[in-house]
Structure 1
Amino acid sequence: MTEPSSRLDASDPSRESAPLVVRTVLVEDTGSLLALLPEDRDVTAWVRRGEGLVGWGVAAVRRTSGPGRFEEARTWWLEHAGTAVVRDEACLPGSGLVCFGSFAFADEPGDSLLVVPEVVVGRRGDTMWVTTIGAGTIPAGPGLAAAEAVDAPVGVTFADGALSGTEWETVVADAVRRINEGALEKVVLARDLYATAEQDIDVRWPLNRLAESYPMCWTFHVDGLFGATPEMLVRRERGLVTSRVLAGTIRRTGDDARDMALAATLARSSKDLEEHEYAVRSVADALAPHCSSMNVPEAPFVLHLPNVMHLATDVAGVIHDADDPSATSLDLAASLHPSAAVGGTPTDVATALILEIEGMDRGRYAGPVGWMDASGDGEWGLALRSAEIEGRRVRLFAGCGIVADSDPESELAEGQAKFVPVRDSLGGTD
């Protein structure tokens, strides 16, 4: 659905061949990062609990597709990082030369990209910085000030996407039958929903609403794909690797006592524990070749979000060689994708079944989204609780892990709960 913007697709050979010139300076704290975003289609964001990165403008961009999309993107990035002229006063992960990225879920079809903004503003703890990036020359530094207030979407209506709820339940039942016949152990099935407003929607509106309502999630936007993901696919920082695995979900009721009882039920649910075990195992197996040591907790904890609760496990490791150019955060993300949390088990059988029965093109939904700096450090989440925005239309996504004893009606209710963050973000103020 999302069409590439003209700026992101504009090709200028002289710009591509010129080295990137980068300057990072420390600045006084100016408040909310998202509030700094101008009215610009090419804004980028990766923010959690007030920290992270936002950017705007385009200094360089590379689009890739197909099975080699990650490798082509990494090669392009390492070439730019190797020739860039950088002056960095902050010397923190995310300062200096940095790119944002968003990758297709499937090998085909799908469009993926890395983009280097002209301006990146970052915050970590009490430190805030501004990076300006140009091809061959450095642009003038921006004046940082909160942008004008963003108008709320008007007259938003919702409609089913590729499948109605009833049709999707039939697909889930088909998947359960195949699992019980032994074809596979788990598959993640998603559905989409369309929202249409009377006028074009400014993505800054839902971004701010998501960040306010879901501060423990990573609020993101790259090239029309936005959301608030609770799942960190992989973080690499100075040789340390972490991955937050979520699988197994129950909807919150809003009653604290009732929700505590539901959390206990979730923690004992054989169906959800089975689903979670597949996801943790797939992440640990994928990271193991890159790590000299790993810590995989024996039991998950329950992550409480405003709309749902998840079984969660934080996997951690130490990579063999932090200077290895084949072990960037993007390489780690590529080795993990698709994990059992978004694909299934076994991976090849599950992804083939998704293509066969899901009935829609996921695009970049459930693919890696995040950022990377010149050292290869970075953070890549899974593009969950997300949507694609184009003009006045938004395409929302939600998925559920299906195992042997999954109930189609219950899975539909879980999916509806996962639509809530983006759906609510398109509404007006409370």
Structure 2
Amino acid sequence: MSQIQAFRAALLHSLADPAEAGNADSHAYFDDGLLLVRDGKVLQAGPAAELLPTLPADVPVRHFADALICPGFIDTHIHYPQTGVIASYGTQLLDWLNTYTFPAEARFADPRHASEGAEVFVRELLRNGTTTALVFGTVHPQSVDAFFTVAERLDLRMIAGKVLMDRNAPDNLTDSAESGYTQSKALIERWHGKGRLHYAVTPRFAPTSSPEQLALAGKLFAEYPGLYMHTHLSENRGEIDWVKALFPERRDYLDVYEHYQLNGPRAVFAHGVHLCDDQCARLAGSGSAIAFCPTSNLFLGSGLFDLAKMERHGVRVGLGTDVGGGTSFSQLQSLGEAYKVLQLQGQSLTPFKSLYLATLGGAKALYLDQHLGNFLPGKDADFVVLDLKATPLIDYRLRQARSLEEKLFALITLGDDRVVQETFAAGNSVHRR
């Protein structure tokens, strides 16, 4: 019989979207909880007083004092080759790409640089408690090989793809419609479905792919079951005007992707800052998702994401850090910025909605909620241990908290990578502070 693992601390996980179920019914919390794991899957989660007597006598219990265990964070949009240019002096999106992003990505033609970059990137994800991410590589196939090699070694559930970009980019970062299709197909055959890995067809955004490339990307998206499609949409007004000029026959930016069948379940569009009601309704109707990237949208001056509009239309929404356009790998810091983005629009982001976006909501956006997002039996045992005394200020503030909601909000607002005490993937420790 497989050995049971037992982890004791306060436990918190989402059960439903607070916008639909209400805050009280959206989560489960156990002040003294026990998480039981077997063969990398959740066996049971509940009150320690009830579960401890059921354990065989030889099962050791790891007890985390002054800690909160919650599901691993899910990042629905991030660029791993941009790790080396995070915190670069910002301009608007298109200038930022040319000044920082493209030179950084060109270095990934070197497999050694790609391997080093992948190691640093994955280490940062895990150090911040992120156990699953939807990841941009570069145009170079070796960038994807490097990333998946690290993710496979650690048995992580990760999604990534080679960038498709055959125009309006530096020559050393372009492929062709045919080579992009062929190289992506080879990567899919090599990595998709291997362990807990998934592949994403990844046109950077409409302006950098010709109609021919977008058509082949749509063909590829339909050829393999379970593939993802990952791109950008309506992040910046200058970008939107550029798309109008390049695709005058299409009615709007989203229609470009729809025309080439790059929408539907497991299609994730990053940003979606400037979308009208009709576009939101079309996204919801197709089953596509939007990645809300608050630190990036503020840093690059792109605009304010309208979460209430997305909820009104039923669009699936996950949380993205968008490193390196974003400013932190920390989903706690991203949620702190998301709160401010919504406050500026007269909207609220409750602590339980924040928890949902970073965990179960992200899993639903990625159609992975059968595997991830909470501690229901049978789900992957991907979780993070948060230190409630990580800093003197956090310790002092949480001792003043009068409710779980207040405690969670303070932890999000003050928290960063220092709060992450340990990160687990499939029941195995993959980062320890």
- Relative to the length of structure 2, the TM-score reads 0.23
- Relative to the length of structure 1, the TM-score reads 0.24
Higher relative contact order (CA 8 A, sep 6+): 1
